[in-house]
Structures are given as structure tokens and as C-alpha cells.
Chain A
Amino acid sequence: MSLAEQDDALIRAALEGSARAWDQLVRRHETQVYNFSLRLTGNPTDALDLMQEVFLGVYRNLHRFRGDAQFSTWLFRIAHNKAIDMGRRRPQCMSLDSVLDEAGDQVETRWQQLDDAPEQDPQAMLDERQRNALIQAQMGALPLEQRLVVELKVFQSLTFEEIAELQDISANTAKTRFYTALRRLKALMEQDHGM
């Protein structure tokens, strides 16, 4: 059974009231949604809030899923809309300052985790965390619409046609936003000298 078929089976069971099926369905996709949220919001607290809103939206609309597209595509359509809603409601949680502050806190937290787990390679774990924090910070410097295009193109591998449909813009506008965002990210990376 393919992943899409497994998703469909879990959806059917969840619609019939199976809490276990719903739990499995969430577990299959929560890492992808959480990292999506983390890159967009820049901090774990807001990422968790966004993820909860996404799955709540999925739960409320699960009976409307017809299986015309893959569940993951439908899921990220909801995630995209929820991210825009959150950006409008709480613009401060997606600002660059918020991202930078949170990135610094995460590095401190990671040092504490390294002390608690000495068997792991401390340098590798620190590099990983710092790299993520920098990417979060650089993404956070972009306007939300550019951040979303980068997220959907680079991390979710959507086509520009799909991105254009999601954002209700033309494909050329989506391409321009993507190129503009990459140029801005390149400039930020050169400033950081670390990447």
C-alpha cells in the first residue's frame, strides 16, 4: 500500500471516529508541518501554535477531503492559509527581531542539551542548530509572501503553477518573488559569513 493509500485509509477511519487513526495521520505529517511552521515563524512556540491551528483546520475539514490531490498537498494548502492568517493576526511573531531573539535562545538551549547528552558529537549538534537558526533568521528577514514562496518551492517542491494558485497570483509573479527572495537571502548569507 502506497503512502497516499495509507493516508486515505487513515482518513476514512478517522472520519468514522477512530481516534487512533487520527493520531497516526497526524504523526505521519507533523514533522513536516512543524518544520514548515518553524521556518516561517522563526521560533518553536509560534511554530507549535501554527501547527496546532493547521491540524485543527485539517480536522474540521477532513470530511471535505475528496482525494482528488494527495493529502499532503491538501494539508499544505491549509498550512499556507493558516500561516497567512497568523501573519495578519500576529505580525510580531513573524518579524526578524523575533526570529533573531529566538535563534539566540535556541543556541543557549542547545548548549544545555549537549551537557545533558555528552555521548553525541557536541560540535556537530551545535553546528546543526546554528545553521538552522541562521536559516530561520535569514528567512525571517523576508516579507511573508516571499518567505512563503521560498518555503513552498525549496522545501515543499511545489511547481510555480501550484504556488501561483495557492497565493492567487500569476506564475510569473511567483517566479519574480522567488528570484527576489533568493537575492535577498544571498545578501544576508554573505553578511553572516558563515554560509
Chain B
Amino acid sequence: MACERTATLVADYFDTALGAQQRQALQEHTQQCADCALALEQARHTHAQLLRWQPQSVPAWSRVPLPAVQEPPRRLRWTWWQWAPLAVSCMLALAVVLNVQVSTGVQGLSIRFGAAPSVDMAQLEARLAAFDAQQQAALQTLTQTLMQQQSNDNARLMEAMIDGVIEQLGDSTARSLEQVIAYFESQREQDLQLLQASYQQLADSDYATIRSVEQLAMLVQGGQP
């Protein structure tokens, strides 16, 4: 092979991708180059001999792949229970977003969406003040009633006791009795003051308890205290 282009030229001759212009150049070269022309002729003959191959029929064989690899790639199929965790997660996320509040009370189960209703603090303070005044008035009335009743009872008891002593001892002891009466009067005044202070302390304690219960109820219902 004297021509250095022979190998490429022969290969190009059998290349179906060769363009018309390149094929024309190839033919022009073989007309001028005896080495390439001879090599091309021999290659064509060899190529033709190879193409005399007669296709053979396929002997019997198993076309089914082995069981280990027979399973084709399956598409992912989701059953309903595989979606359940996702559905629960979505519901919880929705509950958080919508600010769902579930509470139980004396009226049963209640579900509320969104933020708790706002509380008008001025109105609440006014109502509490009115309630406070009402409670104080009621308590004062009660205290006066009790004191009046106690005073009456004590006066009746004292009169009865003085009548009994005068009956038994006569006028000679009138002065002594007056001293005794003065002592009882002073004791009665002291008892009334103590009794009034006790009632006032009891009323204050009850009122503080009621106020605390109200604030606790509002706090449980989600409002501001």
C-alpha cells in the first residue's frame, strides 16, 4: 500500500454517512491512484463475500427471563392506609393554621375557630365595680340588720335581768345596779365593735373568693382576666 489515504478511502467507500461531495472526491482519487483502486476492488469483493452469509434460524430456547429477574419494574401503587398518616398530618396542620380550639365546660364540648373574642376591659371593670358596690351595700345592710337585732336582743335581756334584780334586792341596791348596768353597756359596745369587725373580715374574704373564681373562669374560657 503506497498511498497513505488507502485505509480511510476504502473505509469511507462503505460508509453510508459519506456525503455526495466526499464520494465524488473519493471516486476521482481512485481514478488517479492505482493502489487505492486495487485496494477498493479487493475490499468490495471481500465485503460481497461476507454478505453471502445466510441467516440461520434460532434454535429452541426459553425467551422468558429467569424467575429472579422476571418481575418487571412495577409502578408505585398507594393503598388507602398508606395515605392515612399524610391525611392526619394535613388535618393537624389545618387545625394549627385555623387556630381551632376545643374546650369542654358545663355546656358540653365546644369548638372555636380563630382567635378568642376580645374582651372590653373598660366594660368589665365597670361591671366589676358595680358588682363590688352591690356586694358592699348588701353586706352593710346585713351587718346593720344583725347589729340591730343583736342590740335589741341585748337590751331585752338587760331589761329583763334588771327587772329581776330590782325585784329581788329592792331600792337599796339601786346605785349598785346602775354601776352594773354601766359595765354591761360598755361590754356590749365592745362586743358590737368586735362583731362588726368580724363580719367585715368575713365579707372581704367572700368577695375576694368570688373575684378569684370569676377570673379563673375567664382564663379557662380563653379570655383575658
Contact = CB atoms under 8 A, between A and B. Distances in A.
A133 to B, nearest CB: 11
B51 A154 contact: yes
A81 interface: no
A57 B51 CA distance: 28
Interface residues of B, number: 36
A31 B58 contact: yes
A172 B7 CA distance: 9
B3 to A, nearest CB: 12
Interface residues of A, number: 50
Dominant SS at the A interface? Answer: helix
A186 B11 contact: no
Contacts of A179: 6-8, 10-11, 39, 43
A63 interface: yes
B71 to A, nearest CB: 8
Dominant SS at the B interface? Answer: loop
A60 B7 CA distance: 39
A131 to B, nearest CB: 6
Nearest to B7: A179
B54 A131 contact: yes
Interface stretch (B61-69, B109-117, B129-137, B189-197): B61-69
A46 to B, nearest CB: 12
A92 interface: no
Interface string A54-88: 01100110110000000000000000000000000
A132 B47 CA distance: 14
A182 B46 contact: yes
A189 interface: yes
A106 to B, nearest CB: 10
A135 B72 contact: no
B42 interface: yes
Interface stretch (A2-10, A12-20, A95-103): A12-20
Contact of A185 (B50, B53, B65, B66): B50
A26 interface: yes
Contact of A56 (B14, B54, B69, B72): B69
A44 B57 contact: no
B43 A182 contact: yes
A31 B54 CA distance: 11
B125 interface: no
A6 to B, nearest CB: 17
Nearest to A58: B65
Contacts of A157: 16
Interface string B81-123: 0000000000000000000000000000000000000000000
A27 B63 contact: yes
Nearest to A59: B65
B164 interface: no
B64 A19 contact: yes
B127 to A, nearest CB: 74
Interface of A: 14-17, 19, 22-23, 26-27, 30-31, 34-35, 38-39, 44, 48, 51-52, 55-56, 59-60, 62-63, 128, 131-132, 135, 150, 153-155, 157, 159-161, 172, 174-176, 178-180, 182-183, 185-186, 189, 195
Interface of B: 6-8, 10-12, 14-17, 39, 42-43, 45-47, 49-59, 61, 63-66, 69, 72-74
Given A22-B64, A62-B72, A185-B46, 16 more contacts: A14-B72, A15-B73, A22-B63, A48-B59, A52-B61, A132-B54, A154-B14, A154-B47, A154-B50, A154-B51, A160-B15, A175-B7, A176-B7, A176-B8, A176-B11, A182-B42
19 contacts: A17-B72, A27-B63, A44-B56, A56-B69, A63-B72, A63-B73, A135-B52, A150-B50, A154-B51, A159-B16, A174-B11, A175-B7, A178-B10, A178-B11, A182-B46, A182-B47, A183-B43, A186-B46, A189-B46
